[in-house]
């Protein structure tokens, strides 16, 4: 035998990376990016309190992290007015997604998502043999009614909805989401990805009870709190569901520094407010730059803006490639008609200046 005995499922899967990282792209192009505006990172950075807490904890890095993330979980539960038993801390939303799919989805089990929504979720479903059923966006919004209807048709065990949405930046009101829960098919769980909810208008977060068994919400410290490299997120769900994660999760997956950093960041409400204000300014700046170049920025409730390039996906890909060649890292939706857009993360004034210089050149090159 010259290879390990892979499972039939693994042998059937293509080698797949949902996103090619900017570092890999920098190595390929032989130069760093002048503006890193593609990964929806919080370029403004984390709270100084979080940095100080992580530095202070560095002396204890020889210890494993608290497997229950007790202090952070208690703080989150108090702020969200839910029981601590309804909170689970994990390795970012991506890690939580993988564990949820592992918990619920076996080979052939039906899962519903939007065509063009967050591909890492699809990656996990494929990895456990689930059957993905996709519905199109409607007017650049994930179509919650269509998602639920498809779930009813295929007896889905899980529906994925991001609110606000990535990659389009659109959003639904929390009240509309709560009303839609009454139409969920029996035994189907709504996975509500709220990674960007701190940037969204008031009323976007769904007012779901912490013990509602129909829904699990996921949030992160990667976006508004500026800690993407720490890989820390959390889920809010019914205690029985949260308890079942203990059967499969990596109990020592969260480092001590990530836990104390996230707790300090969460407590620094003034820093969060400052970040929200800076992101709002940057969104307006991106919209202005787009308009100056004859493009339209879509309304956004996130820390990025989808910019409609006005033609088809091939043209948008040409614009993206020309921006990357000029040192501006951006990304774009994968599926038509959303792929007529490029997606630009909010950045500092100096990042926006780089974008403003590069975009007209990139458009001229793409128009050829």
Tens digit of pLDDT for each residue in 106-144?
999 999 999 999 999 999 999 999 999 999 999 999 999
Tens digit of pLDDT for each residue in 278-331?
999 999 999 999 999 999 999 999 999 999 999 999 999 999 999 999 999 999
Let me know how long the chain is.
368
CATH fold group of domain 19-45+270-367:
3.90.1150
Q: Is the pLDDT of residue 273 over 70?
A: yes
Q: HSE on the CB side for 120, CA within 13 Å?
A: 15
Q: How many CB atoms lie within 10 A of CB 139?
A: 7
Tens digit of pLDDT for each residue in 48-105?
999 999 999 999 999 999 999 999 999 999 999 999 999 999 999 999 999 999 999 9
Residue 18's pLDDT is 83
Instruction: Name the E strands within 145-254.
Output: 158-162, 189-193, 215-220, 233-236
Residues 91 and 250 sit within 8 Å (Cβ to Cβ): yes
pLDDT bracket for residue 3 (50, 70, 90): confident
Residues 65 and 329 sit within 8 Å (Cβ to Cβ): no
Task: Give the single-character DSSP code of 368.
Answer: -
Relative to beta strand 87-90, strand 233-236 is antiparallel
Tell me the mean pLDDT in the region 36-56: 98
Tell me the mean pLDDT in the region 330-341: 97
φ/ψ bin of 241: left (φ > 0), alpha (ψ from -120 to 50), beta (otherwise): alpha
Q: Is the pLDDT of residue 2 over 90?
A: no
Tell me the mean pLDDT in the region 153-178: 98
Name the CATH architecture for the domain at 48-267: 3-Layer(aba) Sandwich (3.40)
By mean pLDDT, which of 12-21, 212-221, 307-316, 331-340 is the weakest? 12-21
Residues of 13-23 as b/e, b for ≥16 C-beta within 10 angstroms?
Answer: eeeeeeeeebe
Q: What is the largest CA-CA distance in the chain?
A: 62
Whole-prediction pTM: 0.96
- For the chain, the structural domain boundaries read 19-45+270-367, 48-267
Q: Is the pLDDT of residue 1 over 70?
A: no
Residue 20's pLDDT is 87
Q: Is the pLDDT of residue 364 over 90?
A: yes
Residue 73's pLDDT is 98
Tell me the mean pLDDT in the region 183-205: 98
What integer best gives the mean pLDDT of the chain? 97
């Amino acid at each position: 035998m010259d290879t390990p005995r892979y499972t039939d499922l693994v042998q059937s899967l293509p080698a797949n990376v949902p996103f090619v990282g900017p570092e890999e792209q920098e190595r390929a192009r032989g130069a760093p990016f002048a503006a890193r505006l593609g990964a929806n990172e919080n370029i403004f950075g984390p709270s100084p309190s979080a940095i100080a807490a992580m530095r202070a904890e560095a002396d204890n890095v020889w210890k494993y992290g608290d497997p229950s993330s007790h202090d952070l979980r208690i703080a989150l539960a108090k702020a969200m007015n839910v029981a601590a038993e309804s909170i689970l801390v994990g390795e970012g939303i991506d890690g939580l997604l993988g564990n949820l799919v592992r918990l619920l989805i076996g080979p052939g089990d039906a899962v519903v998502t939007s065509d063009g929504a967050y591909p890492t979720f699809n990656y996990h479903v494929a990895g456990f043999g689930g059957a993905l059923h996709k519905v199109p966006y409607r007017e650049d919004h994930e179509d919650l009614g269509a998602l639920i209807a498809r779930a009813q048709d295929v007896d889905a065990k899980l529906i994925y909805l991001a609110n606000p949405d990535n990659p389009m930046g659109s959003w639904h009101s929390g009240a509309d989401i709560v009303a839609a829960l009454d139409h969920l098919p029996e035994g189907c769980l709504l996975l509500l990805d709220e990674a960007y909810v701190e940037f969204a208008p008031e009323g976007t977060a769904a007012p779901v009870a912490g013990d509602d068994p129909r829904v699990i919400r996921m949030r992160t410290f990667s976006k508004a709190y500026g800690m993407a490299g720490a890989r820390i997120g959390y889920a809010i769900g019914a205690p029985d569901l949260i308890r079942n994660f203990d059967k499969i999760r990596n109990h020592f997956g969260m480092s001590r520094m990530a836990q104390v950093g996230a707790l300090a960041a969460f407590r620094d409400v003034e820093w969060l407010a400052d970040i929200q204000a800076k992101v709002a300014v940057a969104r307006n700046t991106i919209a202005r730059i787009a308009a100056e170049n004859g493009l339209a920025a879509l309304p956004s409730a996130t820390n990025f803006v989808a910019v409609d390039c006005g033609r088809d996906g091939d043209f948008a890909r040409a614009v993206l490639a020309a921006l990357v060649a000029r040192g501006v890292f951006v990304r774009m939706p994968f599926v038509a008609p959303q792929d007529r857009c490029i997606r630009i993360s909010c950045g500092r004034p100096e990042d926006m200046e780089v974008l403003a210089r590069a975009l007209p050149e990139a458009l001229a090159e793409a128009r050829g």
